[in-house]
Structure 1
Amino acid sequence: MTNLDARYQLTNEEEQLLQRATDLFPLLRKYGQQIDEERHIPEELIEQISAAGLFRLSTPRKYGGYEVSMHALVEIISEVAKGNGSAGWVVQIVNGNNFNAALSLHPQVLDLIFEKEQEVRFCSVLQGRKVNVQKVEGGYVVEHGLWGFGSGSKHATHALLNLKDAQSSKENASMLLAVIPMSEVTIVDDWYTMSLRGSSSNSLQINNVFIPEVYVVEQNTNIEDHQNAPAAGLERFYEYKPYTNIITTLTTGISAILGLARGGLDYFVETAKRKGITMTTHSIQAEVGHIQYKVGLAAMKIESAHLHINRSIESLEYHIQTKQLFTEKEFAQIQTDIGYAAMLCTESIDMLMVESGGSVIADANPLSQIYRDIRGGANHALTTASTGLELYGRIWLGLQPQNILTLSYRSMLKV
């Protein structure tokens, strides 16, 4: 099922959640073409995912969630993505955002939000395209705001939106996060893409909406701002609080990409045992030497990606447990690990596509959908390999980082 190292054995509860994700595979695969055609996940499938508890993996236990480990989060979400990339992406985004909300919002605000909903699901956009916002007595008025790529928007109960656009973020990297019920948000139906079509990554728009101050929080990286005692039931989240942004990198991109690669390899191996190669005398693809080589290389790339993901989680956990500050290189390494893992996963599917013959270009072919979905996922700003590799190269060469996330954390890094 997975290739977890013995050091990362899951709890019994986490194993059960992983098994529930595995059990959904036939249903997820069955809905694949419909998800792409309708550009969202059918409600009956959302209900199945919800009933399995997979939208509550990162929700605090005090609000009915599971608080799974980061290793478990990667494994469970990747198992969903093996069945369908869009579904895996939405499950990943909701859990990553719920984690972010638990880290960022005041406990009393969390109480207010979670007591009103049977299951809270956050979508988010962490930088606006254009936001006109005014500070007024008691809160903020968003005169007009437009945010791009609100993944999971059609299935969310709330949006977690940065009230700063690109220009404002350049002047001050800290985020001004606002919680807004989806009833106050207009979903712009503009998600027409080749990739992750069912992820509902539509633009979000707000006009003349008042947001009470209690629902807005400035998310920054000043370590002095994270010294208060944790609220009851949120102790685990308090430990991670100083590293919210880097946790977002780990929880909102790579798990689905890993699952897509695993699913693509499984599908290719399954079909290679029963199909030949057109215009050759080979009756079984799996018996051909260069196919065996490509399968072995693809498997090693995916397993190497998993190792890089585990290393990034290990590094984060080590620094949290020992309360040691990151060096700039250690911090950059986490970001680079994630992008490099995405690149390895994408390369593995690229190789298998080349060996799959002309039939693979059909939309209905599962590997075709996996190829399109993984390419879109790896193009996400948090998983783009070239950005991370440039960052890592600059650090090795003794140059200043170019990455905004690394720059924003420099006050918390060991000199």
Structure 2
Amino acid sequence: MVHAIAKPADRPTDDELVRRVHGIGEIIRANAAEAERTRRIPEESIRALTDAGLFRLGTPRRYGGYETSAKTMLDVSSAVAEYDGSTAWVVTLINVACWSAGLFSTRAQDEVWGTNPDAKVTGVLGSPTAEARPAQGGIRVSGKWYYNSGALHSEWSLLGAPRIDEDGTVIGHNIFIVPASEIEIEDTWFVAGMRGTGSNAVIAQDLFVPGHRVIATIAAAEGRHENELVADEPLYRSAWNPLLVLVLVGPQLGLARDALRRVTAQAATRAISLTTYAAERDSAVFQTQIARASLLIDSAHLHAYRSAADIDGAAVAGTYPDPVARSRVRAECGWVVELVRDAITHLIDAYGAGSYADRNPLQRIWRDSSVAAHHALLTPAVGYEVYGKQLLGVDEQVVPFI
């Protein structure tokens, strides 16, 4: 039985959700420095985001969620990133992990959201130290999963591990959902950027997971789901790996927009050191740098939103993108990362050495963007190779899933 609350939630428009972000944006911005210092998002920001419904993007409407789309996730996460990159990353990862939980059986979903439509899920889908062994009625799992962004604020974790038989042979790979109360968080997140995400390691030791909270990873990657209601819920027909990759560029888009805004806002009053220019805006070189950065950011948006449209269109149509289309999303996301990185570099070059002052948010934008860009799913060279192999009909596969 599905324990929906009184009625399915009315889905706010994308514009309304973005307005909600801007309505609490100054809270997020005011807490950004504390998030960096404490290596976690302040509870004031988490409460504001929760109250605004901004963690419900991937939650089924049956439980009061908004069940939105790939485009909406980009809209919201990029808007949050205009105020703080770490907060945007946590919003992104919780929403996409909730979406992933929506691929499980309704029995599992009942346990996650049946009494709490604001229940948050985070996840790490792979770990070199983790393993899952068959057990009566489910599996037993052990291991350590690094970089569980948002785990400090979530009630559930979505984890992945190779499935091992009695002889120690790998016989598959599983994804499973476990209550946060049954795992341990180890404080391991000491990094140069995205410090506020609290992306610590989580540990499980011989933890039993019932079978209804376990799915085969390859099934998810191929569009075969345990959600019995998927025929009526297009969001959960979205291509698995492409959506997991795509959402990661949302914060990049917002960080780039914020950097452009900050640099141009001061151009009329800020001089260029050791030149005759009393205002940056009067310099042809500065004008060119701004134009190039703006065009790079526009290009990043065009590629990201084309991928979102491809994912959403296929989900609504009930078709699963072929490997060429799926691999193009991965390549495009790597391209978006490179475009944003180049744009921020142009903006910092235009602004000058003051960009790196501790008091200047530009240096945090630069660090946050760089660290987030090095997520394994966003590595440009790997994405290009995967896409190139598909375009050329090369059978060799260098990544576990496309």
Asked if the contact 1:61–1:233 (Cα under 8 Å) also holds between the matched residues in 2, the reply is no
Query: Identity across aligned pairs (percent)?
Result: 29
1:192-341 correspondence runs (5 A):
192-221=190-219, 226=224, 230-231=228-229, 235-240=233-238, 243-251=239-247, 253-322=248-317, 326-341=321-336
What whole-Å deviation, never above 9, does each CA across 1:311-350 have from its counterpart, x for those lacking one?
Answer: 2122233444555564443232111111101110111001
1:60-71 correspondence runs (5 A):
60-71=60-71
Q: Which residue of structure 1 lines up, in the alignment, with residue 95 of structure 2?
A: 95
- Match for 1:184 among 176, 182, 185? 182
Alpha-carbon deviation of 1:234? 5.3
Q: Per the alignment, do residues 65 and 118 of structure 1 end up closer, same or farther by CA in structure 2, a change over 3 Å counting?
A: closer
Q: Which residue of structure 2 lines up, in the alignment, with residue 351 of structure 1?
A: 346
Q: Per the alignment, do residues 152 and 382 of structure 1 end up closer, same or farther by CA in structure 2, a change over 3 Å counting?
A: same
Asked if the contact 2:70–2:243 (Cα under 8 Å) also holds between the matched residues in 1, the reply is no
- The alignment partner of 1:191 has SS state of coil
Query: What TM-score do you get using the length of structure 2 for normalisation?
Result: 0.89
Aligned partner letter, 2:58: S
Query: What TM-score do you get using the length of structure 1 for normalisation?
Result: 0.86
Q: Which runs of 5+ in 2 are unaligned?
A: 1-10
Q: Per the alignment, do residues 180 and 222 of structure 1 end up closer, same or farther by CA in structure 2, a change over 3 Å counting?
A: closer
Asked if the contact 1:295–1:352 (Cα under 8 Å) also holds between the matched residues in 2, the reply is yes
Report the more deviating stretch, 303-312 or 111-120.
111-120
Q: Per the alignment, do residues 133 and 200 of structure 1 end up closer, same or farther by CA in structure 2, a change over 3 Å counting?
A: same
Q: Per the alignment, do residues 230 and 56 of structure 1 end up closer, same or farther by CA in structure 2, a change over 3 Å counting?
A: same
What whole-Å deviation, never above 9, does each CA across 1:262-317 have from its counterpart, x for those lacking one?
Answer: 11111111122321111222111122111111111111111111111122122233
**Whole-angstrom distance in 2 between the partners of 1:165 and 1:270:** 54
Aligned partner letter, 2:200: N
Alpha-carbon deviation of 1:230? 4.2
Count of residues in Structure 1 that have an aligned counterpart in Structure 2 = 388
Q: Per the alignment, do residues 346 and 53 of structure 1 end up closer, same or farther by CA in structure 2, a change over 3 Å counting?
A: same
Asked if the contact 1:127–1:165 (Cα under 8 Å) also holds between the matched residues in 2, the reply is no
Aligned partner letter, 1:385: P
Q: Per the alignment, do residues 193 and 218 of structure 1 end up closer, same or farther by CA in structure 2, a change over 3 Å counting?
A: same
Alpha-carbon deviation of 1:233? 9.4
**Whole-angstrom distance in 2 between the partners of 1:275 and 1:295:** 15
Asked if the contact 1:230–1:238 (Cα under 8 Å) also holds between the matched residues in 2, the reply is no
Report the more deviating stretch, 105-114 or 157-166.
157-166
Aligned partner letter, 1:127: G
Aligned-pair RMSD on alpha carbons? 2.5
Aligned partner letter, 2:125: L
Q: Which runs of 5+ in 1 are unaligned?
A: 1-10, 410-415
Report the more deviating stretch, 216-225 or 27-36.
216-225
